[in-house]
Amino acid sequence: MANPQDVGDLLERKIDVCFGHVDVDGDGVFEEADVMALAARMIAYQNVPFDAPEAQALFRSFQEFVRNIARELDLTSGQISPEQWRKGMIGRFGENPALFDKVFRPLAAAIWRLCDRDGDGKVDAEEFLCFQKAVGSSPENRQIAFERLDLNGDGSLSVEEILSAYKDYYTSRDPHAPGNWLYGDVWDADIWDGTKVKL
């Protein structure tokens, strides 16, 4: 497992890794088709019917999310390059936690409502690992992510804990923030090939 190396590049590194997850078709741009495919994968891996209320809510949240991103980044093409994603995510959201909450929290809440299949307010290891599989994390990084975020070792994550981790991941430059581990070991030298996440 790697350790933090260049703290100054940490947020950029996390945003780059995230781009590799959201560019579902691997064509080098992030667009609405990618997020809808990602939503469908999340729903399928959680074994939730596509017509279930939480599944439909996730589709709507992803559509609204990508439109908000395009508006905040002042994009008209509907496609976002890795460079636009990095610059916009850090410049618009990484430095503005209130805006992050406005745009990201509804999506994150919809994701974790889907993952919390039994409705107990917590996401257990199986539910979390299904989410990780859907976004393309490696088996090793799925396990690392869960272990790092399960701070009290009780085998589950509260939805609020995950929402907090989500915010850490996308906005924090603190190398010790628990949310840095949302998708596993982002310091792993082999996780990023310069254009996308290596799966």
Backbone angles phi, psi at 66, to 5 degrees: -65, -35
pLDDT of residue 74: 78
CA–CA distance, 106 with 83 (Å, rounded to integer) = 25
Residues in the chain: 199
What domains lie within the chain, and their CATH numbers?
Answer: 7-181 (1.10.238.10)
Question: For residue 157, what is the enclosing H or E element?
Answer: strand 156-158
Q: 136: closest CA among 20, 34, 46, 32?
A: 20
pLDDT of residue 192: 60
Name which residue leads in pLDDT, 7 or 136: 136
Q: What is the pLDDT of residues 54-107, one digit of tens each?
A: 999 999 999 998 888 888 887 777 788 888 888 888 888 877 888 888 888 899
CB 100 within 8 A of CB 170: yes
Helices (H) and strands (E) in the chain, counts: 8, 4
Q: 108: closest CA among 179, 176, 51, 174?
A: 179
Name which residue leads in pLDDT, 56 or 153: 56
Mean pLDDT of 25-40: 90
One-letter amino acid of 108: A
State the Cα torsion 34-124-94-35 to the nearest 10°: 10
Q: 198: closest CA among 190, 62, 161?
A: 190
**pTM of the predicted protein model:** 0.83
